[in-house]
Structure 1
């Protein structure tokens, strides 16, 4: 048998040792996000004999998928388990879990992180056909995570290009409905690996993800190995801001016909509806200990900035992922209750977010730094210094 990193133009090694148990004659294997396609002719012990349907250059460390899904590889490998400790040691804000099949994989990752990693947000990379096979499985994975990623490379390979289009939109919609952040990734600006300008198709792809409601778009090879990383960032930023200025990106019917069960959710959503209908509002400011209130508020589309005012650096960094949320440090430990509102407004003015004469919608709780304590909404006019 070949070593995992060995191979030539006629055969190649693989570190997925049970691959031969997962395929039968007639299956198709897709390598490197589907760039190479192999038809399985026969399986003999640990050897898989294939015919090349689509050939090309194959380098090391490339992914392998089976068309339609069905590979039994676990979401968390032994190396992944070791890497979890590294993630805790270096203090990452978010940790992405590749190839989860169900909520159980995300629960396992959370359990392995333990108390030491309780502040780390888990991102489920939706890459397997099994993960999106039905609504219950998809919702389970979303709810077991702090964020999900539409990982269009492997997912598109497994479910097919035609299915991927609608699936991306469904994932984004479900994530927002279930109050989770969502990232859209893979080949967003692929041509800019070698070109200083994006194609019009890429511009529309990024803009459509924004219009669908994604919290973030993610670059890969464009900035990791491309020739124009700065130009790529500038281009994708320009496209995102342009899409967000469109009226359709600022309209929302999120949960408008639903009842609420939590006070903090009620306050957050009420603030957004008020901001979208009251003339003269410059921003929505949320005093928060965990970032939860800004997250809920950001599920409603708006052209106005949502400002997360938090004393916790963890909460500040976590909020940076949420759509439309500006995270600012705001330590209330030395403030008297009557001065909180004025200090918050002064910070917004200092940051150029609000000006004298404009209104700011402020949400807060009676007890600062208490999780789930948001119970107050105020509409405040910014005074003249």
Structure 2
């Protein structure tokens, strides 16, 4: 595979159809997303099982990200499931006391019962991802009186956002805490945390994962306006394995016009802090119903790649769309073409900074050597994947092979840009230097290198020691001794 940017695809009813899951994995999916907002525990575990079985049969590695639902601030339902049509200038009431099944043209219940205490006149409420806009005119007890400033059709259980953010809902709900144990059962590689507003939310999630016996990394979804404050976002990034630029709710809270600049900022911050970054939401939205994307969508995906994102995500395009395989193939093609641009191969990462860790120094040195010597691949022997992560922050067209005998590590690196998982048996007896030959043999067998190629190898002095990378060697494929 020559594509460096990873594809994260959501599973759902469409991929449950015979042959569809296999088709999208063959088309180039690197990591699958299990959305806890829909489906049962049994369905989630069955989908993970199917992915892992396919990966085993095909001698490859597919990561699993399980996405926590988070607090759902929604309206309730309308009587008999009707849809209402709100016009500009209409008055409409959000009533915390109204029966959850008796919404009508004038009012509807709300699932988030404290909303009347958290808004004030003049606030702007956004419903259904920006399709409906309401301005709060007054509060009467548990009733929020509003005026419609942007009308449209409204149906059951649509989301509510407060422009500018500030709602107090906890990031972790009781459902999320139960779903963390499901993630542990599935041996998930990553768990995505919805709506974090501080590093404390991430720390709590990590503690719950440890309690559940789950080693998954936490991906924080940046969805709230208040999470963008400099100190707050820095704390969230520091505590997380990575972040997701979740452009749906974030765009509703800050306004779509601010999204492009914030996306670039978040990608830059994540990479400079040696963290994963995923760009998500509506990337190929039109392909839910159409076999080809719009040109605007192609530009969107390509720009995320040029910005340096590790992964791009498909949501309903694969979970519920009519053309899931086409969506993956399209995403892969756009990523590959964008990566050919010289911008995607130039890096100034850490050039003017000092290193405090020996293993990071080796990782940076390896990439500098690879970029200036015409090296075919970099092979990083790694226990945790950290060395490969550091390497992946350097923009380059040199492939990085994370080589490990830990299946969990090999699945985790599937989300790192430019890093490819490669299983290796490190049982070389007492002579650790024998691993050099084994690395070349493994890469040759997999068709990655051939005689005459140069390989940069990084490793530690001792086998099975995490954080012990302290050696770099340049190997010439075809030599009798390594």
Q: What's the secondary structure of 2:152's corresponding residue?
A: coil
Of 439, 443, 447, 1:348 maps to 443
CA distance in 1, matches of 2:204, 2:121: 34
1:1-385 correspondence to structure 2 within 5 Å: 1-4=97-100, 7-133=103-229, 135-279=230-374, 281-335=375-429, 336-383=431-478
* Structure 2: gaps of 5 or more residues: 1-96
Aligned pair count?
A: 383
Aligned CA distance change for structure 1 residues 110 and 258 (closer, same or farther; 3 Å): same
- Structure 1 residue 384: deviation in Å? 7.0
**Shift of residue 300, structure 1, vs aligned partner:** 0.3
Unaligned runs of 5+ in 1: none
**Mapped partners of 1:3, 1:148: distance in 2:** 38
Deviation, 1:4, is 4.4
Q: 1:290 to 1:3 in 2, by over 3 A?
A: farther
The match for 2:86 is none
CA 1:263–1:5 in 2, change beyond 3 Å: closer, same or farther? farther
- The range that moved more, 9-18 or 137-146, is 9-18
C-alpha distance in 2 between matches for 1:243 and 1:70? 37
Structure 1: distance between partners of 2:214 and 2:180: 12
Which is bigger in relative contact order (C-alpha 8 A, separation at least 6)?
2
TM-score scaled to structure 1, two decimals? 0.96
SS in 1 for 2:464: coil
Summarize the Cα distance change of 1:238–1:61 in structure 2 as closer, same or farther, 3 Å threshold: farther
> Tell me, what secondary structure is at the counterpart of 1:240?
helix
Q: CA deviation at 1:260?
A: 0.2
CA contact (8 A) 2:181 2:212 kept: no
Q: TM-score, normalised by structure 2?
A: 0.77
Give 1:115 deviation, angstroms.
Answer: 4.7
Q: Is the 8 A contact 1:356 1:382 kept in 2?
A: yes
User: Are the structure 2 counterparts of residues 125 and 61 from structure 1 closer, same or farther at C-alpha, using a change threshold of 3 Å?
Assistant: farther
Could you tell me how far 1:14 is from its partner in structure 2? 2.2
How has the CA–CA distance of structure 1 residues 68 and 120 changed in structure 2, closer, same or farther, with 3 Å as cutoff? same
1:329 CA drift (Å)? 1.2
Tell me by how many angstroms 1:3 deviates. 4.3
Distance 1:231 1:268, change over 3 A: same
Give deviations 1:253-289, integer Å, cap 9, x for gaps. Answer: 101000000001000011111111112x110000000
Superimposed CA distance per residue, residues 287-345 of structure 1 (whole angstroms, 9 cap, x where no aligned partner): 00000000000000111110000111110110000001000111213554232011111
Separation in 2, partners of 1:379, 1:211: 30
- Contact 1:93/1:121 (CA < 8 Å) preserved in 2? yes
Residues 334, 380 of structure 1: alpha-carbon distance in 2 compared, 3 angstrom cutoff: closer
Contact 2:183-2:214 at 8 Å conserved across structures: no
Once the two structures are superposed, residues 57-95 of structure 1 have per-residue CA deviations (whole angstroms, 9 ceiling, x without a partner) of 334443221001111111111111121112112211110
**Deviation sequence 1:106-145 (CA, Å, 0-9, x none):** 0111112225445111010000011002x21111000110
SS in 1 for 2:303: helix
Deviates more, 1:50-59 or 1:95-104: 50-59
Q: Aligned partners of 1:293 and 1:349: how far apart in 2?
A: 22
Q: Contact 2:428–2:435 at 8 Å: present in 1 too?
A: no
Does the 8 A contact of 1:5 with 1:14 survive in 2?
no
Q: Following TM superposition, by how much is the alpha carbon of 1:381 offset from its aligned partner in structure 2, in angstroms?
A: 0.7
Alpha-carbon RMSD across the aligned residues, in angstroms, is 1.5
Contact kept? 2:184, 2:214, Cα under 8 Å: no
CA–CA distance in 2 between the matches of 1:314 and 1:116?
A: 17
